[in-house]
Amino acid sequence: MNFWDRYRKKLKKLSRKETPPKIDNSLDHKLDTNIDKLKKELGESSDLVVRHFELGEEFCVAAAVVYMSGLVDEKKVNNFVAESLKVEDSLKKVPYPQKSMFDIVKSRALSVNKVVVAAEWDKFLLSVLNGETAILVDGSNEAITANTKGGETRDVSEPSTQLVIRGPKVSFTESIGTNVALIRRYIKSPNLRFETLQVGSITKTDVAIMYLKGTANEKVLREVKKRLNKIEVEDIFESGNIEQYIQDNAFTPFPTIYNSERPDAVVGNLLEGRIALIVDGTPFVLVVPAIFIQFFQSPSDYYQNYLIGSFLRLLRIISYIISILTPSLYVALTTFHPQMIPTSLLISLAAQHEGVPFPVVVEVLIMEFTFEIIREAGLRMPRAVGQAVSIVGALVLGQAAVQAGIVSPTTIIVVAFTGIASFATPSYNIAVAPRLLRFLMMILAAAFGLYGVFVALFILIAHLTSLRSFGIPYLSPFAPFILSDLKDTLIRQPLWSLVLRPRLINQQNVKRQERGKKPSPPEKHEDN
């Protein structure tokens, strides 16, 4: 206790010290002062480009164009800022010097789409660091910033996660502008709103909140904003960082925030009334609130026949359960309840286990652990070597382990089956949860048999029921049970029957379409 008290006091002291000293937050009238200050603040950084000009013919006024090379589109700067400042006629014959020069530059001279006036030093500095071009005119204590953002970005490409056979082959990129545009392209509605804010005291990462006004739940929206504003951290690199700061319950292996790099998945969720968070610098867009079953929905469910879509979705859920339960059930049944295994199977299991030096639990633990290592190693390896690792791991190691009599073939089957089943989940971040839980279940199964497995399952379900995502129960619509929302959960009913939006997610614009739009063959006419 004493230690903690001291630690806390120390922390308090530290936080007191860190109150920033007051600095002058305004631009100077003199151009040179501003330029010098900028250079000094950026530490004479070599990627800062300052270009001096003389404006006007009768009254020469000094001006400068300031930008960070690499962040700006150099072509834009040359063509639309620097060039137009030179060419613009009105500048040449300015009747009054200096003061009006700034206004003319602002309103006439620039042919860039977005021009903003920055009066504060902070704003000016940030826009320069953000890839904008600032124009400073001598004698004016304001700066004009022109949007010339550019530089190297990645092209829109096929998604690397959440692959589908049928459906758009577009994924988000690292650029927030592109991502917003990708969503806008789907929803041509004035109700699609997006608000940007910056998170991270050093990285100043742009985070866009996107939602469909009138459909999204206002309460959730307020909560999202509140939580985003509460983040006080220096750096945000990825939406995963944001996710960890805004989730409801941090102590859980299950994700309570959905993410996707597929625009169609995000758009579908926006239309259901959810809210998307787009973070600059990552193709993974967050969607809140998220419920458990949502992680088993793949965009392709909606693109194909509903019967097949429903079957595949059930298959995914079953394989998820398999990936949690199989090894522990195997351990429990073979060591505690052999009477539950059919006789001939039991004999064959016993035959395989003859000569294996370890108990079944140890065997399974060894193989599970090996499998996890192979999986992780295969992921980290260079692509060319990764193949070799998985072949060596899966085939050679498994085969050799069986032949050496270290593990029994059934164990290999169980572990491999579990591993494959865990890949069937479309969402990676919920698919990893069983990898952790499996070990816990196995140990309980080894200690208490089926009893242990079911206690673990009971706790797991209790835990899932206790989870919330922005106030929405995680297991809804099963717990709480909402009959009308079940239409698009374990199975997906035909699109024309999904008349209402999920009730918990959205309360205002509930109706999605008219009833009775089931397609049917043309009616027979007499005159045909």
Using rule CB under 8 A, residue 402 touches other proteins: yes
* DSSP states along 255-314: -SSEEES-HHHHHHHHHTT-EEEEETT-S-EEEES--GGGGG--HHHHHS-HHHHHHHHH
> How many residues are given for the chain?
528
The smaller minimum CB distance to other proteins, of residues 341 and 432, is found at 341
The distance from CA 420 to its chain's CA centroid, rounded to whole angstroms, is: 25
**173 or 411: CB nearest other proteins:** 411
3-class secondary-structure state, position 488? strand
Query: Binding to other proteins by residue 42, rule CB under 8 A?
Result: no
DSSP secondary structure code for residue 394 in this structure: I
Q: How far is the CB of 354 from other proteins (least distance, A)?
A: 5
Taking CB under 8 A as the rule, which mask of x and - marks residues 438-477 in contact with other proteins?
A: --------x-xx-x---x---x------------------
Nearer to other proteins, 323 or 411 (CB): 411
Total number of residues that touch other proteins (CB under 8 A): 28
Q: Please give the Cα distance from 466 to 234 (Å, whole number).
A: 32
Residue from 354, 514, 526, 527 binding other proteins (CB under 8 A) = 354
> Considering the rule CB under 8 A, would residue 352 count as an interface residue with other proteins?
yes
Task: For the CB of residue 243, give the shortest distance to other proteins in the complex, in Å.
Answer: 24
Closest separation in Å from C-beta 360 to other proteins: 7
| Shortest Cβ 493–other proteins spacing (Å) | 37
Q: Which is nearer to other proteins, 179 or 334 (CB)?
A: 334
Residue 348 binds other proteins (CB under 8 A):
yes
Q: b/e string for 277-309 if b means 16 or more Cβ within 10 A?
A: bbbbebbbbbbbbbbbbbbbbbbbbbebebeeb
Near other proteins by CB under 8 A: residue from 262, 353, 435, 501 = 353
Is 411 a binding residue for other proteins by CB under 8 A? The answer is: no
CA atoms in the 13 A half-sphere facing the CB of 66: 27
Chosen residue from 110, 360, 374, 442 binding other proteins by CB under 8 A: 360
C-alpha triplet 247, 252, 253: angle, nearest 5°: 110
The residue range among 91-99, 214-222, 261-269, 345-353 that interacts with other proteins, by the rule CB under 8 A, is: 345-353
Residue 336 lies near other proteins (rule: CB under 8 A): yes
Q: Does 359 bind other proteins (CB under 8 A)?
A: yes
Q: Distance (Å, rounded) from C-alpha 415 to C-alpha 418?
A: 5
Peptide bond into 477 cis (omega under 30): yes
Cβ nearer to other proteins, comparing 62 with 356: 356
Give the separation between CA 517 and CA 388, rounded to whole angstroms: 53
For 260, half-sphere exposure in the C-beta direction (CA atoms, 13 angstrom radius) is: 28
DSSP classification of residue 326: H
Q: What are the start-end ranges of the H helices in 77-141?
A: 83-87, 89-92, 99-104, 121-129
The closest alpha carbon to 327, from 421, 430, 418, belongs to 418
Q: Which of 356, 392, 440, 490 binds other proteins (CB under 8 A)?
A: 356
Residue 343 is a binding residue for other proteins (CB under 8 A): yes
Does residue 330 bind other proteins (CB under 8 A)?
Answer: no
Q: Does 347 bind other proteins (CB under 8 A)?
A: yes
3-class SS shares of the chain: helix, strand, coil, % to 5: 50, 15, 40
Q: Tell me whether residue 403 or residue 528 sits nearer to other proteins (CB atom).
A: 403
Residue 160 or 343: which CB sits closer to other proteins? 343
Euclidean distance between CA atoms 240 and 507, whole angstroms: 28
Residue closer to other proteins (CB basis): 352 or 370: 352
Stretch that binds other proteins, among 67-75, 129-137, 225-233, 336-344 (CB under 8 A): 336-344
Nearest approach in angstroms of CB 474 to other proteins is: 17
| Residue number with CB closer to other proteins (265 or 401) | 401
Q: Give the x/- contact pattern for other proteins in 96-135, rule: CB under 8 A.
A: ----------------------------------------
Cα distances from 66 to residues 100, 109, 113, 147, in angstroms, run 20, 16, 18, 12
Is 379 near other proteins (CB under 8 A)? Answer: no
Q: Which is nearer to other proteins, 404 or 483 (CB)?
A: 404
Contact flag: residue 252 with other proteins (CB under 8 A):
no
Residue that has been written with the tokens 């816990």 in this structure: 440
328 contacts other proteins (rule: CB under 8 A): no
Token pair, residue 395, equals 């085939």
Q: In what order do the strands lie in the sheet with 275-279?
A: 192-199, 205-212, 275-279, 285-288, 258-260
Contact region with other proteins (CB under 8 A), list: 7-15, 182-190, 287-295, 343-351: 343-351
Please state the closest distance from residue 226 (CB atom) to other proteins, in A.
24
DSSP track, 68-86: ETTTB-HHHIIIIIIHHHH
251 binds other proteins (CB under 8 A): no
Nearer to other proteins, 177 or 409 (CB): 409
Contacting residues toward other proteins, per CB under 8 A:
334-336, 338-339, 343-344, 346-354, 356, 359-360, 402, 408-409, 446, 448-449, 451, 455, 459
